[in-house]
Amino acid sequence: MTEAPVYGIMAEFDNPTDLLHATEATYAAGYRKIDAYSPYPIEELSDAVGFHKTRIPLIVLCGAILGGLSGFALQYWISAISYPLNIGGRPYNSWPAFIIVTFEMTILFGGISAVVGMLGLNGLPQPYHPVFNNPRFTSASRDRFFLCIEASDPKFEIDRVQQFMQGFNALDVTEVTH
């Protein structure tokens, strides 16, 4: 059978600094479909791969507002419209008493949307991803740093990229297949 299509070329580094430099160089060289992998968050790295803004805060804001509104609406509807009762002489719409639940609902919805948003945008859960085809990639969650130029990049040509990456002081440069 024909060998599996190439996903990209991957370089492995043993420290964050080399990875960062390599990434910046790659980006400068015009590659866009690239990604860098590290065992812990490195602030500069996402800028280096050209990923500057995330929509997470917006999602959380919407979630929180939705939660707050629905929380209060629920209470108001129940106590003043659906089943109004004279509770200890208090008015049907005892809004000060409704604040607490409103607040809790705000937090709840905000929190949930934060997590769901993060996972969603990251495309998680994701049962399969080609980068794991690189046997050395298991150490990406330990103490190794990886840079990958993906085949889907318009400028992608295996040999040129191979050469280009050999230029960094990478421990190893391999081809990652699908």
Q: Please list every residue from 1 through 60 that binds another protein, using CB under 8 A.
A: 15-17, 20, 23, 35-42, 44-46, 48-49, 51, 54, 56-57, 60
Beta bridge partners of 10: 148, 174
82-101 positions binding another protein, by CB under 8 A: 82-83, 85-91, 94, 97-98, 100-101
Is the Cβ–Cβ distance between 84 and 92 less than 8 Å? yes
CB of 151 to another protein, least distance (A): 16
Q: Which is nearer to another protein, 6 or 78 (CB)?
A: 78
Question: Binding residue for another protein (CB under 8 A) from 112, 133, 153, 162?
Answer: 112
CA-CA distance, 31 to 49, in Å (whole number)? 9
Q: How many other CB atoms are found less than 10 A from the CB of residue 177?
A: 14
Distance CA 44, CA 30 (A): 18
Nearer to another protein, 132 or 160 (CB): 132
Cα–Cα distance measured from residue 88 to residue 101, given in angstroms and rounded to the nearest whole number: 20
Q: Residue from 129, 155, 160, 178 that binds another protein (CB under 8 A)?
A: 129
Smallest distance from another protein to CB 50, Å: 10
Q: How many CB atoms lie within 10 A of CB 97?
A: 13
Q: Give the DSSP letter of residue 144.
A: -
In the complex with another protein, which residue's Cβ is closer, 129 or 155?
A: 129
Residue type, position 14, single letter: D
Closer residue to another protein, CB minimum distance, 20 or 165: 20
